[in-house]
Homo-oligomer: A and B are copies of this chain.
Amino acid sequence: MNFKSAVVILAVLLQGYAGFAQTSTAVAEDFKPSSVTQPGKQYPQVNSEGRVRVRIAAPNAQKVQLDIGGVRYDLIKDEKGIWTGESAPQVEGFHYYQLNIDGAAVPDPGSIYFYGASRWGSGIEIPAPDQEFYALKDVPHGLVSQKIYFSKITNSWRRCFVYTPPGYDATNKTRYPVLYLQHGSGEDETGWSAQGKANLIIDNLLAEQKTVPMIIVMDNGYATRASSAQKEVNTQPTGIGAFNAFEDVLIKEIIPMIDASYKTIADREHRAMAGLSMGANQTIQITMNNPDKFASIAGFSGTSNYPSTAPIDAATFMNGKFKDGSAFNKQVKLFWLGLGTKEPNPFPGSVAAFRSMLDKQGIKYSYYESQGTAHEWLTWRRCLHEFAQLLFK
């Protein structure tokens, strides 16, 4: 064995120990209950390094693990049968997770539950340095209302959540612009107010006079035509399925319903659409198909060429919707794209290819990068925060 081999082996050995060292000695013992820990419960906790610590009584279990960020961390059992353990440091932001008890993947009984990753389950919040912009503060707060409606197109009950800003009430006649704001794949209409904190972001921006009062409609991006839709739905969200009918549902049912029941300014100049990931793809498709309906458009962590990273030919892409750059610039008041710097493939390549096409066509757009965040809700909160400061101005 030469010196170089010995170094490699030593390095591998040290790497092998790193996990043990992290969980037994090197962990900062400043864990606190998370902002999404259930009231009255002590776990899950998060420390200053962004580690997630969970604890659960499972006296007869053989193996208990914390499953977060694609990694399973073994918990350690004490003499009372209580298992405790923590993850490696997590990227700041919001992460779905679960526990694994002798092979059973279950929600952590200590956390609040969110709909994402195509299921209701646990989520954890790793505090971000800029968390003030989405914090619950002593400023006027708008309402988030659940609106139930029947869709003839899908032959099913659906619901949306509607944010109305502070001051929107029955006693004044002010009318407001509307942002239609869509979730991503495996999520539903609850995402933008629960994980996304859209209402708090806008409340805070309004208090600082950095945005204008607006109505935000958060609906479910999944919609299938009546023939394939289930005949009965419950009042809970339906996050599963295809979305071939969503454009029709939005244009023919949701927008007319919102314009009829809220004090909206019902023209394209005062109507915007934005979405994240799958919702960004939908946003670009729908707004390009309906230029008479929307003048402002945003895609957070997604574009309509997804998942392709290949160069785009504007002459043929989306039937030439981006072909005439100067016509596009006249038609679209605000075209906005955002992306996290730590997003996985194919997002960086896919969004880059889309931007190259825009640049080549001379299309004006805003581009924002969220530093240090992945394909998750902190990226999208920041995107909304930035986008809203330019919107309807």
Contacts and interface: CB of A to CB of B under 8 A. Distances in A.
A90 interface: no
Nearest to A161: B146
A56 interface: yes
Interface in A55-69: 56-64
Interface in A98-154: 98-99, 101-107, 109, 112-113, 118-121, 136, 138, 141, 143-150
A contact face: mostly helix, strand, loop, or mixed: loop
Point out which of A56, A58, A64, A239 has the most chain B C-beta atoms below 10 A from its C-beta: A58
B136 A103 contact: no
Q: Looking at chain A, what size class is its interface with the partner chain?
A: 35 or more
Interface stretch (A31-39, A276-284, A328-336, A372-380): A31-39
Copies of this chain:
2
A235 B142 CA distance: 13
A292 B146 CA distance: 33
A58 B239 CA distance: 25
A263 interface: yes
Contacts of A239: 39-40
A145 B144 contact: yes
B39 A103 contact: no
A89 interface: no
Interface string A185-227: 0000000010001001000000000000000000000000000
Interface of A: 35-36, 38-41, 56-64, 81, 98-99, 101-107, 109, 112-113, 118-121, 136, 138, 141, 143-150, 157, 162, 168-171, 173, 193, 197, 200, 233-241, 261-263
18 contacts: A38-B119, A39-B238, A40-B118, A40-B119, A40-B239, A59-B102, A60-B103, A61-B102, A62-B62, A112-B120, A112-B236, A113-B113, A113-B120, A141-B147, A143-B147, A168-B170, A169-B170, A169-B262
